[in-house]
Amino acid sequence: MPPVTKPIAIIAGAGPGTGAALARRFAQKYPVVLLARSSSTLDPLVHEINRSGGSALGIPANVAHADQLFSSLTQIRDHFGSEPHVAAAIFNVASKFTRNSFLENQPDFLDSLEATARGASNFARAVLPLLLRQADDTEGYPPTLIFTGATAALKGGSGLGSFAMSKFAVRALAQSLAREFGPKGVHVAHAIIDGVIASDKTKEYLSDRPDAKIDPRGIAEAYWFLHTQSRSAFTHEIDLRPYCETW
């Protein structure tokens, strides 16, 4: 009898803030693989999780580069066995937010779209076979692929074309994958994060009203909830915003 493979969770974009909160939440149940561009971001988080009883593997990688992503997969196989099962995969890579007049010289106008779209599709292509493997496991939660989105996934804005194009594109991918892989038992979801996320960078902003910013732990709880949904009642899209946000 082959050894039971313990499923893992993979989080791309495991930076401080949302990424770290997601890592901590999913590490309560699964070994987590954390992908981020720089190891300086990853290392403290990996240590923290490993020290507090979880299991984390940090792999510095830019998922928009297929070769880096696929070499990550090799490391995952080296670590977790040749046929890892993935219970949850989260694409949380930030798109570069800029607000510029469209006619300013912006040679990098499409960079955000390309990096995000390429990152999201590379990531989906890498993890879906591993999620499908988990779909037959009737014990666990249905395997889940979640994309982090933003209000700009629903609505363009003056000066926001670059950012909105990348967020719209990821939403298109998430919808398309949900319709293809839902019937195969993989839960594909998209989260609209609407508001400023509380973090070290934003601590000055609305500092007198702490819950006017989104607590990353609230995002993590929502993603965890999505992951636990039975396949008889999957949510595809969820919005998250502070109680006082105007929308």
Burial state string for 122-143 with b = 16 or more CB within 10 A and e = fewer than 16: bbbebbbebbbbbbebeebbbb
Count CB-CB contacts under 10 A for residue 237: 16
Q: Indicate the residue among 6 and 241 with the shorter CB distance to a second copy.
A: 241
Find the Cα–Cα–Cα–Cα dihedral 26, 29, 35, 36, rounded to 10°. 40
* Ordered alpha helix ranges (H), 52-110: 66-80
Least distance (Å) between residue 39 CB and a second copy:
28
Look at strands 56-60 and 32-36 and give their pairing: parallel
The least CB distance from residue 23 to a second copy, in Å, is 17
Taking the least distance from each CB to a second copy, the nearer of 77 and 244 is 244
Q: Cα separation of 12 and 145, whole Å?
A: 11
**Closest CB 129 distance from a second copy, rounded Å:** 7
Which residue matches tokens 């990550």? 72
Q: Which is nearer to a second copy, 22 or 42 (CB)?
A: 22
CB of 180 to a second copy, least distance (A): 4
Task: Indicate the residue among 25 and 42 with the shorter CB distance to a second copy.
Answer: 25
Toward a second copy, which CB reaches closer, 43 or 108? 108
Closest CA to 20 of 83, 90, 76, 82: 90
Nearer to a second copy, 78 or 180 (CB): 180
| Shortest separation between residue 240's beta carbon and a second copy, angstroms | 5
Q: Looking at residue 197, what DSSP letter applies?
A: B
Q: Return all residues near 226 (Cβ < 8 A) that are at least 6 apart.
A: 144, 146, 187, 189, 191, 235, 238
CB of 4 to a second copy, least distance (A): 23
> Nearest distance from residue 75's CB to a second copy, in Å?
22
Q: Which helix (H) or strand (E) holds 89?
A: strand 86-91
5: number of Cβ within 10 Å = 15
Q: Nearer Cβ to a second copy, position 57 or 64?
A: 64
